[in-house]
Amino acid sequence: MIGSGKQKGGTSAAGKQSWRELAGPRRSRVNSPQARKRRQSRWFKFLAGFVLLLVVLGGLAWVGWTFKNRQQAIPMAPTSKPIERIIFDTDGVLPDNWLSQTIKLRPGMSMMEADIHALKKSVEADVQVKSASVERVFPSDLRIRVKERVPALRLAIAGSDGKRHLRLVARDGVVYDGIGYSKTRLKNLPFVQPYRHVDGSFFPMRGIESVAELLELVRSTEPKLFSTWQVVSLQHYSGALDIPGQVIEVRSTIVPRIIFGSSADYGRQLDRLTYIFEYVRKQGNPSIERIDLSLRGSAAVQFSSGRVGTF
């Protein structure tokens, strides 16, 4: 006969039950010396880490505060003294009195009052100056460095007064008055007869850099020959080297006309020219009217007698 639920295997729901009671009685806290040491060690590590964190955060805050206050303490501009000296350096011939006339500095002007950008602009306004730099040298100096244009030729221009005025032509084709050059240096520069453009004007002068290379080559390798060169004619030389048939004509005291091809190697043409002079010397120096070096692979020589030779 089946029982009523009070037999073996039954479960009584009487009394209060909880998970803690089901799990058994709560363990009492171990209070042995070893346990206390372990607890103290854990607390010490926690406190040490906390203190270290505070130290790091405090250090970062101190560094930030110090940096901020240091930035505020540094003046935006150094103590400005009056300008006492101007250091002028140039790679050319411009004299000191040119500089004193070019830049205007108020007496007693301080270093920081001087507008170095405006000073640079005023120095470069002179066409003879290719580039310039102006810098402050504390406590009381200004340094001005100048790179000048290099003259390659002389140009005679008729003025409104009917007189001829001398101008210089730089390697980059810029024409300027020229200040500070000795008479000897200017005398050694040939005059130039410019190319006339379609509209009848002479400017701008292009291709002067190539002409200057020819002049420098002759000056350095054949100085005696160069001293006889008086005029460089660019009547048939526009400066555009990609146009064939352009020539540079030189008029000297020993040969009225010497013609160089602008697109050919100047060194080879000069070698051929020196050979012709040597040949003519051995022939008793017959007078030469014209030497054309622009021909490909040869040169044509026209003697004053009318005879023409090929070399």
Strands 85-90, 141-148: pairing is: parallel
> How wide is the angle at C-alpha 181 spanned by C-alphas 158 and 201, nearest 5°?
30
Q: What is the pLDDT of residue 25?
A: 53
Rounded mean pLDDT, 14-32: 50
Nearest Cα neighbor of 249 from 291, 280, 188, 310 is 291
Q: What is the pLDDT of residue 69?
A: 62
pLDDT at 19 over 50: no
Examine residue 71 and state whether it is found in any structural domain, yes or no. Answer: no
Q: What distance in Å separates the CA atoms of residue 125 and residue 196, rounded to the nearest whole number?
A: 27
Instruction: Give yes or no for a contact between 92 and 131, defined as CB atoms under 8 angstroms apart.
Output: no
- Greatest C-alpha distance within the chain: 164
For residue 295, what are the contacts with CB-CB under 8 A and spacing of at least 6? 261
For residue 165, what are the contacts with CB-CB under 8 A and spacing of at least 6? 156, 157, 158, 159
Q: What is the pLDDT of residue 301?
A: 97
**Last residue of one domain, picked from the residues 132, 148, 164:** 148
Q: What is the pLDDT of residue 78?
A: 54
| Mean pLDDT for all residues in the chain | 86
Residue with the bigger pLDDT between 251 and 40: it is 251
Percent of the chain at pLDDT > 70 equals 78
Q: What is the pLDDT of residue 18?
A: 47
Instruction: Give yes or no for a contact between 247 and 210, defined as CB atoms under 8 angstroms apart.
Output: no
Instruction: Give yes or no for a contact between 144 and 132, defined as CB atoms under 8 angstroms apart.
Output: yes
For residue 182, what are the contacts with CB-CB under 8 A and spacing of at least 6? 93
For the stretch 57-111, pLDDT in tens is: 777 777 676 666 655 444 555 567 999 999 999 999 999 999 999 998 999 999 9
Examine residue 15 and state whether it is found in any structural domain, yes or no. Answer: no
Q: What is the pLDDT of residue 11?
A: 44
Rounded mean pLDDT, 241-248: 89
pLDDT at 14 over 50: no
Confidence of residue 181 (pLDDT cuts 50, 70, 90): very high
**Last residue of one domain, picked from the residues 102, 133, 148:** 148
Examine residue 67 and state whether it is found in any structural domain, yes or no. Answer: no
Distance between the two ends of the chain, CA-based, in angstroms? 149
Q: What is the pLDDT of residue 90?
A: 98
Q: 155 with 202, same domain?
A: yes
Three-class SS state of 235: coil
For the stretch 184-236, pLDDT in tens is: 999 999 999 999 999 999 999 999 999 999 999 999 999 999 999 999 999 99
Rounded mean pLDDT, 169-182: 96
Q: 128 with 165, same domain?
A: no
Q: 100 with 164, same domain?
A: no
Q: What is the pLDDT of residue 210?
A: 96
For residue 223, what are the domain limits? 151-310
Q: 164 with 296, same domain?
A: yes
Which of 42-46, 117-121, 158-162, 282-286 is predicted least confidently?
42-46
Nearest Cα neighbor of 113 from 143, 142, 87 is 142
Q: What is the pLDDT of residue 53?
A: 73
Q: 134 with 166, same domain?
A: no
Global pTM value: 0.72
- Domains held by the chain: number: 2
Q: 97 with 200, same domain?
A: no
For residue 43, what are the contacts with CB-CB under 8 A and spacing of at least 6? none
Q: 165 with 111, same domain?
A: no
Examine residue 229 and state whether it is found in any structural domain, yes or no. Answer: yes
Q: What is the pLDDT of residue 22?
A: 42
pLDDT at 23 over 60: no
Q: 127 with 182, same domain?
A: no
Amino acid identity at 82: P
Phi, psi of 195 (to 5 degrees): -75, 135
**Last residue of one domain, picked from the residues 148, 174, 197:** 148
CATH number at residue 96: 3.10.20.310
Rounded mean pLDDT, 233-242: 92
CATH number at residue 232: 3.40.50.11690
Three-class SS state of 303: strand
Q: What distance in Å separates the CA atoms of residue 172 and residue 179, rounded to the nearest whole number?
A: 18
Q: 187 with 302, same domain?
A: yes
Q: 187 with 270, same domain?
A: yes
Q: What distance in Å separates the CA atoms of residue 111 and residue 79, rounded to the nearest whole number?
A: 9
Confidence of residue 265 (pLDDT cuts 50, 70, 90): very high
Q: What is the pLDDT of residue 7?
A: 43
Structure token pair of residue 311: 């070399």
Instruction: Give yes or no for a contact between 147 and 91, defined as CB atoms under 8 angstroms apart.
Output: yes
Q: 187 with 113, same domain?
A: no
